[in-house]
Chains A and B, each alone.
Chain A
Amino acid sequence: MFMLNPNIIKDEELEILLTDVSSLYGYDFTQYSRASLKRRLNRICVIDKFTSFAELRYNLIHHPEYLQRFIEEITVNVTEMFRDPSFYKALREKVFPKLGTYPFIRIWLAGCATGEEAYSIAILLKEANLYNRSLIYATDINPGVLEKARKGIFPISQMKQYSENYILSGGAADFSQYYTANYDMVKFDTDLKEKMIFSTHNLVSDSSFNEFQLIICRNVLIYFEKELQNKVFKLFNDSLDNFGFLALGAKETIRFSNLENHYKQVVTEKIWKKIK
């Protein structure tokens, strides 16, 4: 078994594939960070047993049905519930009390992958008694992962970790009350997704679709080049209510972007408030 990915796709071949995908299917990955893209492309070659660039390219061009899998594999969909518990604790303690002053709360979860974050946020909203007047818009570029997110079914093997994360995030209830176990999977309560709206959205090409009080986009921008990061910050800015909140991943920042002066970081966790 390959532990590391071999170098099947060369740099210039990567560019050709990106051009193909853009011109044939309208998905623009040309401003994604190359280092990660290259790893993902070589990884998909190993998993789908392509031994050359030509083979992968042929499949991509002549089998449009392969596109969905291709995009799902070259983007990163690794996620977990209550990842970085201190982030969720900050949401509970610093952000939700402010959101509570709004009659109606709209939250955009951009790049929600298989939905673990969406269910985490729903649990938090319930415990803060805000759930009934909230809507969570969970979006992702991949329709396949959204399908999984809608189901709300996750491996039971993860629950010990998630339950620990939940407690560290300040959760006081019994975490297992939120799901029903069935063999090796658990299904989260359907009332948790009552206020979730799942939809595809491509941060590269799609525009703003609503105005939100909180936008959460964690560990998505790390896969984008600086220029695209700035473009997405602008999209978020256009989609955020005055005095709304923007939450990013632990190692992402709005600090070096053009919008820096319009935001104020509210906690050491990566949460900013729009101030003008």
Chain B
Amino acid sequence: MVKRTEIFLIGGSAGSLTVLLEVLPQLNDDISFPIIIILHRKSHPDSVLNALLSNYTDLEVCEVEDKMTLKSRCIYLVPPDYHLLFEDKHTVSLDSSEKLNYSRPSIDVTFQSAAEIFKESAAALLLSGANADGVDGLQYIKQNSGLVVVQEPGTAEVDYMPKQAISQVKTDHVLRPDQMAGFINRLCR
């Protein structure tokens, strides 16, 4: 069976921004699915991250609002202080419930929700980071036959998060940052 990717999730913490800045410029502008980015970050009113990432890609970058309809060729940032959940394949909800792994947004929460809604058509990539948020989420992606991708720990600024993922989850691909954009582009076919 060939998996058709309908959503691509990227989770990361400490050290993952530099990876995104390397990957984003190389993404094709006809990506056939929405890309969701869940980063641990400080709450900031002016959405500096949004503006920064927009400079690195031709794809549209926007911060998620509640009940937003997802489009392909668009990169969505989960806003600080909210978890992101999927209502169905096209609609997302925000949630300000308890932090998980000391984090809101929590990567685990969004990965789990995507796994339940998208099943085998979900793909998730976990980047550099200093805690294990995202590892259980990858497990859910895997259990639902989705695609699990992890940053090569040797290339990570903080290797704890990818190392935990590789040791606990049956990973489909372990990639260096310079391989990631090409990998995502090829999923579109």
Contacts and interface: CB of A to CB of B under 8 A. Distances in A.
Interface string B38-75: 00000101000000000000000001111100000000
A216 to B, nearest CB: 15
B115 to A, nearest CB: 10
Interface string A233-275: 0000000000000000111110000000000000000000000
A4 interface: yes
Interface of A: 3-4, 7, 33-36, 39-40, 76, 78, 83-84, 86, 219, 221-223, 226, 229, 249-253
A84 B65 CA distance: 16
A39 B100 contact: no
Contacts, number: 71
B112 A222 contact: no
A253 B45 CA distance: 16
Contacts of B66: 221-222, 249, 251-253
B97 to A, nearest CB: 4
B78 to A, nearest CB: 10
Contact size class for B?
20 to 34
Given A35-B85, A251-B64, A251-B66, A3 B93 contact: no
A223 B112 CA distance: 18
A223 B97 CA distance: 10
A86 B43 CA distance: 11
Contacts of A84: 43, 45, 81
A35 B87 contact: yes
Given A4-B140, A78-B96, A223-B93, 15 more contacts: A3-B108, A4-B100, A34-B87, A35-B86, A35-B95, A76-B97, A78-B97, A84-B45, A222-B67, A222-B94, A222-B95, A223-B95, A226-B67, A229-B67, A251-B79
Interface in B91-132: 93-98, 100-101, 108-109, 112-113, 116
29 contacts: A3-B100, A3-B136, A4-B108, A4-B109, A4-B137, A33-B87, A35-B85, A35-B95, A36-B85, A36-B93, A36-B95, A39-B97, A39-B113, A76-B95, A78-B97, A83-B81, A84-B43, A222-B82, A222-B94, A222-B95, A222-B96, A223-B95, A226-B67, A249-B96, A251-B63, A251-B65, A251-B94, A252-B65, A253-B65
Contacts of A40: 97
Nearest to B96: A219
A222 B93 contact: yes
Contacts of B81: 83-84, 250
